[in-house]
Structure 1
Amino acid sequence: MKRKWFLAATASVLLVTLTGCGKTVEEQIDTGVASAQTVFEENPQQSNKTIGKIELYVPTGFNVEESEDLNNLIITKGKESYILFVNYYEKEDSNLHYELLKNDSSKKIIKEETVEFDGAFGFSAVREYDKEQFELIVSSGGVKMSTISEDKNIDQKLVDMMTIVRSVKIAEEKE
């Protein structure tokens, strides 16, 4: 009986260990960029937060830090920090952020994907930041979000970022 218990416990530990290995960084990047494109093409989430003139959807577990600069918002989830940049003057079809990315040769682009849907332009990209970190960037029109990330959960981070970026609306001034 003890031997069966030992074999069952060993099998359970082995199963948990193998499951925990997860995806490689390359797989996470490929999945994340493709999933971000899918999110871009879906209906944006309804906003649940308003900061100044910016209305946006903030997923559960994320927090928006108020700041005096309403063009740049800091969004956090645990120890992760994201910068949300809103250019009020760029339209939905703007590719300004993409052109800036392509013209910056200071860091290697590992993967990028552009998408045009329903009159809007967007992209997701992963750049090498240093040996163990990556810069994740998503954009829709004049809205861009970026973060520096370790090699964990890159795919989910890109999806969350695109979900936030696609939800951003500029509130109309009431007269």
Structure 2
Amino acid sequence: MKITKWHFAIIFAILVFLMSGCSETEEEVLKEAQDIASAKFEEESLESNQDVEHFSLFLPEGFTIVEETMNNLLLEKEDKTYILFYNPLEEKTSRLNYEAANAMGNFTLLESFETDDRFGYISVTTSGDEEASYELQIGVGGAKITTMTTLDDLVEDTETLMQMANSIAYTQQ
């Protein structure tokens, strides 16, 4: 049997159809991000491997500290920038950053998590930027980490940021 351009067109159309059925919807990805944020929040915090002026934290492989200023760390991994804001005066149970995210009112997803000794949340807002169309904010107590991400990277970024936020341990001053 001779394979013609027509056969290739049919095979290509079938592959496109099958692949489009496999991609997750925004709703599914947001639900998965919420679930992974909750699961990582509930886990034991990872051991710190990076010390900065007022605290220590777990910094995943590939992340570098670009700049450290009063109450902020600017982090990078590959082509992404992450801003870690911390307030050592806030307890791990603080809701301050969550309430600020809630007050903005423009979120696509805002969910909180709580234990006896910690309060955390995930906030996702839609941005107009086509490259990275979502702002992801993960917070635990007085710390929050924010980045711009895509739908494809949202779940992985959520997991990484929650691990980092959970690991922050303030030093005594």
Do they fold alike, i.e. is TM over 0.5? yes
Q: Which residue is equivalent to 1:23?
A: 24
The Cα of 1:151 is off from its aligned counterpart by 2.5
Give ranges in structure 1 of 5+ residues lacking alignment: none
The Cα of 1:102 is off from its aligned counterpart by 1.2
Give ranges in structure 2 of 5+ residues lacking alignment: none
Counterparts of 2:147 and 2:109, CA distance in 1: 15
- Other structure's SS at 1:88 match: coil
Counterparts of 1:77 and 1:171, CA distance in 2: 25
Q: Does residue 42 of the first structure (1) align with residue 43 of the second (2)?
A: yes
Counterparts of 1:115 and 1:141, CA distance in 2: 11
Q: Which of these residues, 113, 116, 126, is aligned with residue 114 of structure 2? A: 116
Structural RMSD (CA):
2.6
- Other structure's SS at 2:102 match: helix
Query: TM-score normalized by structure 2?
Result: 0.83
Cα displacement string for residues 114-156 of structure 1 (whole angstroms, at most 9, x for unaligned residues): 1111321111111122264111011000010111123321011
Q: Structure 2 matches for 1:60-71, cutoff 5 A?
A: 60-67=61-68, 69-71=69-71
Counterparts of 1:27 and 1:70, CA distance in 2: 38
Counterparts of 1:163 and 1:2, CA distance in 2: 55
Between the two proteins, the alignment pairs up a number of residues equal to 164
CA contact (8 A) 1:28 1:153 kept: no
CA contact (8 A) 1:112 1:126 kept: yes
The Cα of 1:38 is off from its aligned counterpart by 0.8
The Cα of 1:2 is off from its aligned counterpart by 9.5
Counterparts of 2:52 and 2:42, CA distance in 1: 25
